[in-house]
Chains A and B, each alone.
Chain A
Amino acid sequence: MSTKASRSAARLMLAPAVILLLGWMLVPLTMTLIFSFQRYLPLRGGFQGWVGFENYVRFVGSSAFWPAVQSTVIIVGGVLLITVVLGILLAILLDQPMWGQGMVRILVIAPFFVMPTVSGLVWKNMFMDPNNGLLSHLWRFFGADPVIWLSDASMLSIILIVSWQWLPFATLILLTAIQSLDSEQLEAAEMDGAPALSRFRHIILPHLSRAITIVILIQTIFLLAIFAEIFVTTQGSFGTRTLTYLIFQRVLESQNVGLGSAGGIYAVILANIFALFLMRIVGKNLDR
């Protein structure tokens, strides 16, 4: 793709895809923008006039806004921490030659194939149920009082469920990165007198830094939008109302499309700030 002719041909052929993608993004985004400046209540006849920035002010002004931002950040941060740390450990483990490697790898990846709604329900009913859940049986077996997960440790529960879902993704990306590490580098480090822990810190971790940033970047963008896991478990109560969930409540429960749209635009801005910030880190990491 270096001559002028091949470059313009490439542009021409890319055009349909780019236009489609742009349309896909731009139409909903524009509609959200338009709604956000309207007073729009579907149950009371829909459009009720333009209101300027009133929706934006009201959304931020509501007492639910800052707690929602806070829980969003806690959930995203918690999940990132757990998936990256465990992902690295699992990736190292899976990289070791062992019996039944193929099978184990498939099992590790499996949670990623489970739909969020299903996994939320499975965790809620099979693991975290205070009476019949596996975890409560476990607690009782050791003579402890079962934790009422979804209300007493609601945040932790959501983080656990979402981490369980995203761990395979992180593991997979980190595993491929570890496999691309030149084994001679590790051998050289071994001959240079580096014990296992130093080899991890000085060779493996720097080698993984790129993959780790990519995992963080991609996961953040998806985690900002988690919804099903909250919807089927706590329904946003017990402090688990994220920004996404708040928007959902404004639009569907309070039937206020304008207010919800304003929230949506805030979410877009927040995601972009995150993405920009992360891109710069990735850029720095990709440069060398």
Chain B
Amino acid sequence: MGQIVLEQVTKSFGDVTVITPLDLTIDDGEFCVFVGPSGCGKSTLLRLIAGLEDVTSGEIRIDGQGVSTIPPAKRGLAMVFQSYALYPHMTVRKNIAFPLRMAGLDRAEQNRRVEKAAEVLNLTDYLDRRPGQLSGGQRQRVAIGRAIVREPAAFLFDEPLSNLDAALRVGMRLEISELHNRLGTTMIYVTHDQVEAMTMADKIVVLRAGHIEQVGSPLELYRAPRNLFVAGFIGSPKMNLIEGAEATKHDAMTIGIRPEHISISADEGRWSGVVGVSEHLGSDTFFHVQDTGLGDTVTVRAEGDVSFKHGDRVYLTPRDDMIHRFDAKGLRIG
């Protein structure tokens, strides 16, 4: 069990309000990702749920029970910190066993659970090392191991992969998703990373300046961003946002079209422009097209290795059914 409900939760540090009244429900077994720009309050929100900070007002319920007066250890949550926060003077075994030892489990049971966790996380060979003798990915796994042995109602991850290199991130991302599938435990996961958010989440919560901009599944956010902020934030490369005459044609203040929904051709199309920078990724190529008369540079994705050179004139055609329209307040129309 691990349903987490936030009701009108706020948090201020002194007279700085970091979280404005916020409602959110995270269902049991859900993988919920918090994304948002730096400083928007993701970590703070996680720490409020964990109990490491007190809410200024509002109520947090875990499985229906208000937890305002319950200390962190008793909330049945486990947290994995960005810095891993392993205990440097203890071996991996002792690190993982620490919560069990604090819970007063007997030695044999501690060992049984530690070994089981180590097996799941491929740490069996490293049990007698200290954290200082492990690589970043291994430390990360120890931190996760320390969280899973407690069999918590929910896991809280604060940017757990941000200290790892790209290849390792992909690997760990899969491992965490795999873990979620196997344990079926609620997980709340904070990240900066688009790809992590899109690939891992059942539900994404987009935050800005302490309030929720939109909650939904990755595809909902991708298909129907509720406002300009979410439109610009979800998707990589960013959605092209176009204002002015072209937008007026669609009865909107701003229209948005994703790079993958524009086709590019050498001879005909609705808009014309000149190729600026092109990024070849092998599978895809991104062209940044200038001088289209639409304001900003327009980013276009072409599949495979299409070759237009810098300075070539090209023609662009957006898919009409994929155009997002926003009103003067930046809210989605239709």
Interface residues of A (CB under 8 A from B): 182, 184-185, 187-194, 198, 202-203, 206-207, 209, 288
Contact flags (1/0) for B117-135 with A, using CB distance below 8 Å? 0000000000000101000
The minimal Cβ–Cβ distance linking B138 to chain A, given in whole angstroms, is 17
Q: How far apart are the CA atoms of A198 and B71 in the complex, in Å?
A: 15
Task: Please tell me which one of the listed residues B79, B86, B103 contacts residue A191 in the complex, with CB atoms under 8 A apart.
Answer: B79
The minimal Cβ–Cβ distance linking A284 to chain B, given in whole angstroms, is 12
| CB–CB A192/B98 < 8 A | yes
The residues of B that contact A192 with a CB separation of less than 8 Å are: 73, 98-99, 102, 146, 150
Q: How far apart are the CA atoms of A22 and B108 in the complex, in Å?
A: 58
Task: Please tell me which one of the listed residues A184, A190, A193, A206 contacts residue B83 in the complex, with CB atoms under 8 A apart.
Answer: A184
| CB–CB A190/B87 < 8 A | no
The residues of B that contact A206 with a CB separation of less than 8 Å are: 87, 89
The minimal Cβ–Cβ distance linking A200 to chain B, given in whole angstroms, is 13
Q: Give me 19 other A-B pairs in contact (C-beta within 8 A), A191-B50, A192-B99, A288-B89 excluded.
A: A182-B83, A184-B83, A187-B85, A188-B79, A188-B87, A189-B87, A190-B52, A190-B71, A190-B72, A192-B98, A193-B99, A193-B102, A194-B102, A198-B102, A202-B87, A203-B87, A206-B89, A288-B88, A288-B132
B78 within 8 A of A: yes
The minimal Cβ–Cβ distance linking B129 to chain A, given in whole angstroms, is 11
The minimal Cβ–Cβ distance linking B163 to chain A, given in whole angstroms, is 13
| CB–CB B83/A191 < 8 A | no
Q: Most B CB atoms within 10 A — which of A182, A188, A207?
A: A188
| CB–CB A188/B102 < 8 A | no
Given known A184-B81, A187-B52, contact A193–B103 (CB-CB < 8 A): yes
B32 within 8 A of A: no
| CB–CB A188/B89 < 8 A | no
State the 4 A-B residue pairs at the shortest beta-carbon distance, nearest first. A193-B73, A192-B99, A188-B85, A184-B85
Task: Please tell me which one of the listed residues A182, A191, A193 contacts residue B52 in the complex, with CB atoms under 8 A apart.
Answer: A191
| CB–CB B98/A202 < 8 A | yes
B19 within 8 A of A: no
| CB–CB A185/B52 < 8 A | no
B252 within 8 A of A: no
Given known A206-B89, A288-B89, contact A189–B98 (CB-CB < 8 A): yes
Interface residues of B (CB under 8 A from A): 50-52, 71-74, 77-79, 81-83, 85-89, 98-99, 102-103, 130, 132, 146, 150
Minimal Cβ-Cβ distance residue in B for A194: B102
7 contacts between A and B (CB under 8 A): A184-B81, A187-B79, A190-B71, A191-B78, A193-B103, A198-B102, A206-B87
The residues of B that contact A187 with a CB separation of less than 8 Å are: 52, 72, 79, 81, 85
The residues of A that contact B74 with a CB separation of less than 8 Å are: 193
The minimal Cβ–Cβ distance linking B88 to chain A, given in whole angstroms, is 8
Minimal Cβ-Cβ distance residue in A for B82: A184
The residues of A that contact B103 with a CB separation of less than 8 Å are: 193
Minimal Cβ-Cβ distance residue in B for A206: B89
Minimal Cβ-Cβ distance residue in A for B102: A193
The minimal Cβ–Cβ distance linking B69 to chain A, given in whole angstroms, is 16
The residues of B that contact A185 with a CB separation of less than 8 Å are: 85-87
Q: How far apart are the CA atoms of A191 and B103 in the complex, in Å?
A: 11
Minimal Cβ-Cβ distance residue in B for A285: B89
Q: How far apart are the CA atoms of A288 and B90 in the complex, in Å?
A: 11
Minimal Cβ-Cβ distance residue in A for B104: A193
Q: How far apart are the CA atoms of A59 and B16 in the complex, in Å?
A: 72
Q: How far apart are the CA atoms of A189 and B103 in the complex, in Å?
A: 12
The residues of A that contact B89 with a CB separation of less than 8 Å are: 206-207, 209, 288
| CB–CB B81/A188 < 8 A | yes
Minimal Cβ-Cβ distance residue in A for B143: A188
Q: How far apart are the CA atoms of A35 and B150 in the complex, in Å?
A: 70
Q: How far apart are the CA atoms of A202 and B87 in the complex, in Å?
A: 9
| CB–CB B85/A190 < 8 A | no
The residues of A that contact B77 with a CB separation of less than 8 Å are: 191
The residues of A that contact B73 with a CB separation of less than 8 Å are: 190-194
| CB–CB B72/A288 < 8 A | no
The residues of A that contact B78 with a CB separation of less than 8 Å are: 191
Q: How far apart are the CA atoms of A181 and B74 in the complex, in Å?
A: 24
The residues of B that contact A184 with a CB separation of less than 8 Å are: 81-83, 85
Minimal Cβ-Cβ distance residue in A for B77: A191
The minimal Cβ–Cβ distance linking B304 to chain A, given in whole angstroms, is 46
The minimal Cβ–Cβ distance linking A28 to chain B, given in whole angstroms, is 41
The minimal Cβ–Cβ distance linking B5 to chain A, given in whole angstroms, is 20
The residues of A that contact B146 with a CB separation of less than 8 Å are: 188, 192
The residues of B that contact A202 with a CB separation of less than 8 Å are: 87, 98
Minimal Cβ-Cβ distance residue in B for A198: B102
